[in-house]
Amino acid sequence: MPADYHTHTPLCRHAEGEPEAFVDAALKAGLSEYGVSDHAPQLPEPFDDWRMLDAEMPEYFQWLERARRHANGRIPVRAGLECDWLPGCTAWIENLAGRHQWDYLIGSVHYLESTDIGAWDFDNPKWLDRWDGMDLEEIWHGYWREYAAMAESGLFDVLGHPDLVKKFGHLPDGDLDRFYEPVIDAVAASGCVIELNTAGWYKPCAECYPAPRFLELACSAGIPLVISSDSHEPAHLGRDFPQAVAMAKAAGYQETVLFEQRRRKTESLG
Ligand code: ZN
Ligand code: ZN
Ligand code: FE
Ligand code: FE
C-alpha cells in the first residue's frame, strides 16, 4: 500500500491513540510509510479548539520520537504538519517550516472569509446551520480562489483534501468543471502534489476528496498524487486504500509520491 501522510495525534484535541498504536496499525495495513501531520499551531492563540498550541510543539516532536523508536526501522516515520492557509499567513508558515527537519508540509483551506461573520472554519460541524441560505456559488468560488492562491504560494509540498468545501454535501448546481479547471491550472503550474483523501467517504458528502472527475483532470494536467486517510485514530490508518488506489488508477495515475526532508521520490501503484 502507498504511504499515508495525512494523520493526526491527540495534541489536536480531536484525535486519539498512542504513537505505538499508530505504528502497529500502519504495519498491519501494509503502508509503505507512515507520516504524521497534525494541525499546526496558529496565532493568535487560542485560534480555535482543534489544533496543538505553539508551546506544545516539543510534545509533538516527542510523539514522533516515540513512534520512530517503536517502529525501530520496520517502517519509515515521516514528520509533517497540516498548516492552515489563511490571509497573510506566509511569514508564519515560513516560521513553522524552520522549526524542524520536516519531511513535508500539507496546506489546507479550512477557513473562509465571509462578509458578515469574518473568517470561519466551514468544515466544522459546529457551524452547520450557517450554511442555510448561503450562496453556494459564491462560497465555492471563494474556496477555490483560496485553494489556487495556496498552491501559488509555494509554501507547501502537498495540498490537502482538494474539494473539502463539499464536506456536508453543499454542491452548486450544474457542471463543476467550471470550478475545477482554473484551480487545476494553478496547481499544475505550482508543481504541488495533491492528495486523494479517503475521509470524505465517511462524511455527509459520501465521496472522497477530490471527486473522481477532479482527479481525472488533475492526472491529465500532470499533477502528482499522494493517498491519505486523514486518520484521527489508529484504526483509520490506510482506511479504504485499496479502493483509493483503484480510483487513482482509473483516473490515469500510475504512481504516488514519497517525501523525505521535502525531497520527492515516486512509488509505483503496482
Ligand atoms: Zn482534524
Ligand atoms: Zn484538513
Ligand atoms: Fe487532517
Ligand atoms: Fe484536517
Expressed in angstroms and rounded, the spacing between residue 193 Cα and the centre of ligand 1 is: 20
Number of domains the chain contains: 1
Considering the domain boundaries, does residue 84 fall inside one? Answer: yes
pLDDT tens, position by position, 200-245 = 999 999 999 999 999 999 999 999 999 999 999 999 999 999 999 9
Expressed in angstroms and rounded, the spacing between residue 176 Cα and the centre of ligand 3 is: 24
- Is 133 a residue whose pLDDT tops 90? no
Residue of 233, 250, 246 lying closest to 19 (CA atoms) = 233
Considering the domain boundaries, does residue 1 fall inside one? Answer: no
Considering the domain boundaries, does residue 4 fall inside one? Answer: no
Considering the domain boundaries, does residue 64 fall inside one? Answer: yes
The whole-chain average pLDDT of the chain stands at 98
Considering the domain boundaries, does residue 3 fall inside one? Answer: no
Q: Quick one: which ligand is closest to 109's CA?
A: 2
Considering the domain boundaries, does residue 252 fall inside one? Answer: yes
Expressed in angstroms and rounded, the spacing between residue 132 Cα and the centre of ligand 1 is: 24
CA 16 centroid distance within chain: 18
pLDDT tens, position by position, 47-103 = 999 999 999 999 999 999 999 999 999 999 999 999 999 999 999 999 999 999 999
Q: Whole-angstrom Cα distance, residue 12 to residue 63?
A: 12
Considering the domain boundaries, does residue 5 fall inside one? Answer: no
What is the pLDDT at residue 115?
85
What are 158's three cell numbers? Answer: 502537498
Residue of 191, 168, 200, 166 lying closest to 180 (CA atoms) = 166
pLDDT tens, position by position, 134-164 = 999 999 999 999 999 999 999 999 999 999 9
Considering the domain boundaries, does residue 57 fall inside one? Answer: yes
Q: Quick one: which ligand is closest to 160's CA?
A: 2
Q: Which pTM was predicted? A: 0.98
Residue of 95, 119, 115 lying closest to 105 (CA atoms) = 95
CATH of the domain at 262: 3.20.20.140
Range of the domain at 192: 10-268
